[in-house]
Structure 1
């Protein structure tokens, strides 16, 4: 199998000399602007949902706030603003990949991304890709992936955005964004600061959310320079510094505190030729934390991991209908911490992506990947996908893949409890989708099946010590429906987008639904606008979920908003927005014994000039 991969890669590189046709203008423009072209170019058979500016503005605090109302992802949130872990299509948090401008940023410590550490204010788009994606994005992309994108616009422009928000529990947000450029260069800059006392009431009790204060600072800087018609240099940087207390539960108070920082930098060099495009990326990621069991004491536990990543993408247009992309990546991970000493890992991966447009109606893709890792054996993975468009209104999409997740540093080296004999998780999945579209209505329906083996779970051994083991086989299947409506009469605009998911995720040994996986989940977003006024309503329903020793009750939560758009001056546009969160004052929990906020209010002012 190794020989097959190498032959495929050598074949692709060698054939670049015989490719006859140049990239069309649209594809070349995408290559210049986007760092993650393969998200759409090599995913014809996948469902992808893009959340743009208008949706981001309504939910501009954290990635959790954005996706809880605009996706089928369920979040296990340890109280508002605390650690937030996703469950995507019945998988766990470490089986959902988060992709930052084309780079997988899941933690090397626990395999996850805390979605409350991602502020969406400084991103141009957030995209949700459903289905296995390990061939393109590596470890963890089993249930799906969430993509954070910064666009670079090479046009003459200068745009400023200032956003200020104040709300209940003394919650404050300040955000500034700048986008400027010319035909030869482009710069984006964004800074966002959030601070909250977060002392909401626990409904039905006389308690409040003690020790829940948090604040964080996010900075994004992205720049690009067109050296000439064939060369582009791009720089991406994102910093996050968070300081939050960990609130207690209904039965146990807490005095703990957590400080975490994340720095991500990437330099990219793109080269364009008539037949091919070459991208070279060099990235450095740093994740670091300090955990204080007692915030008033000086003692803390510490952890740190640095990641150095080198990546080369070569896209070859073999014919007008056939594209081939090869990806070679090397990564070096080094860590040190109080509970896992000084682990390190080297990884090398080789990937080939094939896209063939057989006709205007039929497109298919074939993709393979092999990883070589210094501390264990990684599986060979593959994916196939295709789309057949019967007409402009109806299309069928299908994809199937083998995916994987590697053991993390915590899984292998945590002391006490790490297990050096762990195997990577592997899964097979298939997804069938249908899409209907018309002038006013878009409808998507997907059915999927995931079979996962060697799942890693921390379970107690004979001494009672929790240790990670490859013990579970899990079968997950379900269906998803998404409906989008858009209707305009004169100055009246009506929009609706909604989603429903039915998810069965069972452990083979127990035949029971996994914990924190709702069987039913539904969300809807309604908006009505007339000239400068917009009224919107968001609603989410979560069915009951299993927990250890019982169940959490189902709940309905609503959010109501009103915005007023007006011009202060000729080139100054403003949006004043008022939100009521938890409109029905619902008592609910995403994690057992950790209540979420009561009814609360937010006032936001956005200036664009």
Structure 2
């Protein structure tokens, strides 16, 4: 049963949702058939390293966004046991240096400065995009190591379609999705409801580990609408309502059980104007995050908070000529919060920014762009930000890209005001970055090699001050550098289709004062994905190797390396009916992504998908 307080919270959130439903209409970013609301994502993909995970890939790892990113990207995922608190790390950076972008809006928590991956259900999105490298000129604070883009799509002229998906797996795990879409020449509608739950009571007998009190459940409702008034004007609206409960694992039956509850509401409405020389996209967004932590699941909440963000954003693109354009992005945010049991009272913050980008494609072979941004953050002197990038196609088998940027992250409310431990004297982080990609293609093969370097000043790191108190401080300088390599093979012949992807990452992230590798930054990672389809049968294999990972600042304690292998089979019995079976951790490996918290050994899942 829900507590009375939580029922009130949910009723209020549902009220916000239905008020928005009555009062607003929606559209999409472009006049092509299938688009994302984040119109900048396709632009940055011209020079940045981008990875796209479509709905089919999402269903291969539907259990959690952690699993999806762990097996289908080379991002390091730090998870406190399956289904518990989870955070990403790009290129040796921290979770706070990763921006989560929902349909073009930065949604990192104003408390934590990051996103909890396991409180973002992948079934809520048609596409999960991954952008490597800094992007603060466009996506704001925290876009230092990279950004994760949660995209919803709206179509026109597609008629009606629907999807039902249900998966059941080990440890009492179930994932369900119901989705319906309708569109004609002027109107588009997309509704998505998904639910995930698990008893999550797995054991690792070799380490005498039981995932006690590990259950979780979450539900998400997503609605998108689009309407074209005429060929030049579109209105759009995208909304999301999310509710979850996570129980945190304990190590003995006598230990007090804890849990964490989250309710999230996001609403984005906008108007797009499009003419021959002008494209303008005006957005209004409201984000609300509520959370409650229970130090004892049988008692009232111990701590919690409510964070609200009001956002006005305008994206003006002026076509100077056929091959060049100026893009002005302005944004204003008002953030307010109310804490409970954390020393955080009622902090408020005003933020504004002005970004100007110039893009030029004088020839089919050469494309370049320049960007500049001034961020205005209340109570902080924000640095001047810039970006420069270019792509040169030398011949039909080789092209190279270069990216240079300065990025930043502002201290969050928890960094500043959490008691005990918060530090009001923190400085904002700044970073300078350079990367150069080399992309080769030969017949069905593509090879990409990207060395990168980041120099971060005043990085904010939480360290243990006493046995019970953690506090943040600025590390004067950090160097993060490494290499990413990616090889793909894609071939169709007769009724066969083969696709494979092999990626390798080498990462060094060094505190220049101690000369030591930062915590939870594996030096080496390898990912492999392969899909084979013949007629109505499909097979897939997923594998990743994670190198030795230090868990302290002195390189004295580490998690040993490991390799995990998954495989699955799907059978499309008709155009509307598909069955699937999957084996996770086939070799029964014992592994941890966070010290003390073991992940599951071999487990299974079966799924059913209906299209109509």
TM range (shorter): over 0.9
- In the other structure, the counterpart of 1:241 is 243
Which of 544, 557, 568 does residue 561 from structure 1 map onto?
568
Which deviations, in whole Å up to 9, do the C-alpha atoms of 1:422-468 show, x marking residues without a partner? Answer: 11100000000011124311111100000001011223569985332
Find the residue that maps to 1:112 and give its secondary structure.
coil
d(CA) in 2 for partners of 1:347, 1:125: 29
- In the other structure, the counterpart of 2:500 is 496
Which of 566, 580, 585 does residue 582 from structure 1 map onto?
585
- In the other structure, the counterpart of 1:23 is none
d(CA) in 2 for partners of 1:152, 1:543: 40
- In the other structure, the counterpart of 1:187 is 189
- In the other structure, the counterpart of 2:280 is 278
Contact 1:214 1:245 in 2 (8 A): yes
Does 2:603 match 1:596? no
d(CA) in 2 for partners of 1:30, 1:383: 29
TM-score, normalised to structure 2, is 0.92
Relative to structure 1, is the Cα distance of residues 484 and 253 closer, same or farther in structure 2, using a 3 angstrom cutoff? farther
d(CA) in 2 for partners of 1:377, 1:423: 9
Contact 2:209 2:598 in 1 (8 A): no
After superposition, residues 341-380 of structure 1 pair within 5 angstroms as: 341-380=345-384
- In the other structure, the counterpart of 2:8 is none
Which deviations, in whole Å up to 9, do the C-alpha atoms of 1:394-422 show, x marking residues without a partner? Answer: 11001010000000000111122222221
Relative to structure 1, is the Cα distance of residues 563 and 402 closer, same or farther in structure 2, using a 3 angstrom cutoff? same
Superposed displacement of residue 489, structure 1? 2.8
Does 2:233 match 1:257? no
After superposition, residues 426-575 of structure 1 pair within 5 angstroms as: 426-459=430-463, 465-548=469-552, 549-567=556-574, 573-575=576-578
- In the other structure, the counterpart of 2:117 is 115
d(CA) in 1 for partners of 2:431, 2:253: 38
Which deviations, in whole Å up to 9, do the C-alpha atoms of 1:93-135 show, x marking residues without a partner? Answer: 0001011100001110011101111111131211111111000
- In the other structure, the counterpart of 2:82 is 80
- In the other structure, the counterpart of 1:394 is 398
d(CA) in 2 for partners of 1:551, 1:100: 34
- In the other structure, the counterpart of 2:25 is none
Relative to structure 1, is the Cα distance of residues 73 and 438 closer, same or farther in structure 2, using a 3 angstrom cutoff? same
Size of the aligned set, in residue pairs, is 579
Which deviations, in whole Å up to 9, do the C-alpha atoms of 1:9-43 show, x marking residues without a partner? Answer: xxxxxxxxxxxxxxxxxx95359933222222245
After superposition, residues 55-94 of structure 1 pair within 5 angstroms as: 55-94=57-96
Superposed displacement of residue 371, structure 1? 1.0
Relative to structure 1, is the Cα distance of residues 397 and 374 closer, same or farther in structure 2, using a 3 angstrom cutoff? same
- In the other structure, the counterpart of 1:100 is 102
Find the residue that maps to 1:55 and give its secondary structure.
helix
Contact 2:372 2:387 in 1 (8 A): yes
Contact 1:96 1:142 in 2 (8 A): yes
Gaps of 5+ in 2: 1-28
Using the TM superposition, name which of 172-181 and 341-350 deviates more: 172-181
Superposed displacement of residue 379, structure 1? 1.1
Find the residue that maps to 1:372 and give its secondary structure.
strand
Which deviations, in whole Å up to 9, do the C-alpha atoms of 1:476-535 show, x marking residues without a partner? Answer: 110011111012332122210121100011111111111111111001011222101111
d(CA) in 2 for partners of 1:240, 1:69: 25
Contact 1:247 1:253 in 2 (8 A): no
- In the other structure, the counterpart of 1:48 is 50
Find the residue that maps to 1:204 and give its secondary structure.
helix
Superposed displacement of residue 197, structure 1? 0.3
Relative to structure 1, is the Cα distance of residues 522 and 251 closer, same or farther in structure 2, using a 3 angstrom cutoff? farther
Relative to structure 1, is the Cα distance of residues 155 and 547 closer, same or farther in structure 2, using a 3 angstrom cutoff? same
Contact 1:31 1:37 in 2 (8 A): no
d(CA) in 1 for partners of 2:185, 2:323: 30
d(CA) in 2 for partners of 1:249, 1:497: 38
Using the TM superposition, name which of 584-593 and 572-581 deviates more: 572-581
d(CA) in 2 for partners of 1:249, 1:399: 46
d(CA) in 1 for partners of 2:476, 2:549: 20
d(CA) in 2 for partners of 1:155, 1:62: 32
Superposed displacement of residue 54, structure 1? 2.3
d(CA) in 2 for partners of 1:540, 1:401: 30
d(CA) in 2 for partners of 1:62, 1:605: 17
Relative to structure 1, is the Cα distance of residues 252 and 534 closer, same or farther in structure 2, using a 3 angstrom cutoff? farther
Relative to structure 1, is the Cα distance of residues 374 and 207 closer, same or farther in structure 2, using a 3 angstrom cutoff? closer
Find the residue that maps to 2:457 and give its secondary structure.
strand
Using the TM superposition, name which of 278-287 and 49-58 deviates more: 49-58
Find the residue that maps to 1:416 and give its secondary structure.
coil
Find the residue that maps to 2:149 and give its secondary structure.
strand
Contact 1:43 1:385 in 2 (8 A): no
Find the residue that maps to 1:597 and give its secondary structure.
coil
- In the other structure, the counterpart of 1:406 is 410
